[in-house]
Amino acid sequence: MKPFGMVSFSGSTKVGPFYMLIWEGVKKQTIREPRRDGQDHVKVGRPFSLYWKVRRTDKQGEPHRLGLAMCTAYETVKLIDMWDDEANAIADGFIDLNEFRDWFFEDWREARWLDDVIEAYRSIDRSVYEGVAKAFPEAALSEFLTSEYRRIKWEYPLIETTCTDFVNCPRCGRQNDAVLFSHWGCCYCGWKR
């Protein structure tokens, strides 16, 4: 079956860099903003390519293909609906729900009103609440309540993988993919040759 689409990764969590989490089967999904052109990122039941650092500013080295995955789900989600979903956070490669929350809404700990807002959102007609949020489109609350994302899930093991060789970082001693290490250095501590 012909592949459709691609997804690029560049970050890491407390568990490790996304590319390692994908290869190890820890990260089996990703959450993305909708594409600007309105097209789908991937299609359910079709393979898609996974890459490391396709959109980077340093332009050093070539993007590294991580492998090919089979898409099992492509769905519209909202952050507020995933706010208490620990299983979702772990499937996305985060160590826990708090790290997931930090990634998507970094000021959530300072937002004293957030628990009340979430409770209200869950207890009343969502269309009423979203209407209020849309009345104040510049507020962080509006974005948190109304922004839709796309969750992409894939099967593990990958259909194919490019991971063939590893090296240990001389500074921190942690294992890195050899090709990625040669281009960008250690994904854990940032050490470069």
Q: Indicate if the alpha-carbon torsion angle 56, 78, 16, 158 is positive or negative.
A: negative
User: How is the chain split into domains, by residue range?
Assistant: 6-106+148-162
Name which residue leads in pLDDT, 99 or 108: 99
pLDDT value of position 45? 97
* Gap between the Cα atoms of 23 and 158, Å rounded: 8
pLDDT value of position 60? 60
Provide the percentage of residues in the chain whose pLDDT is more than 70: 86
For residue 166 the two structure tokens come to 């590893």
Distances (CA, A) of 171 to 164, 168, 178, 183, 193: 22, 9, 15, 16, 11
Q: Stretch 44-54: mean pLDDT, rounded? A: 92
> In this structure, which CATH number among 1.10.3720.10, 2.60.40.420, 2.40.10.10, 2.30.130.30 belongs to the domain 6-106+148-162?
2.30.130.30
Q: Is 70 exceeded by the pLDDT of residue 58?
A: no
Q: Are strands 166-168 and 175-177 parallel, antiparallel or unpaired?
A: antiparallel
pLDDT value of position 145? 66
pTM (2 decimals)?
0.78
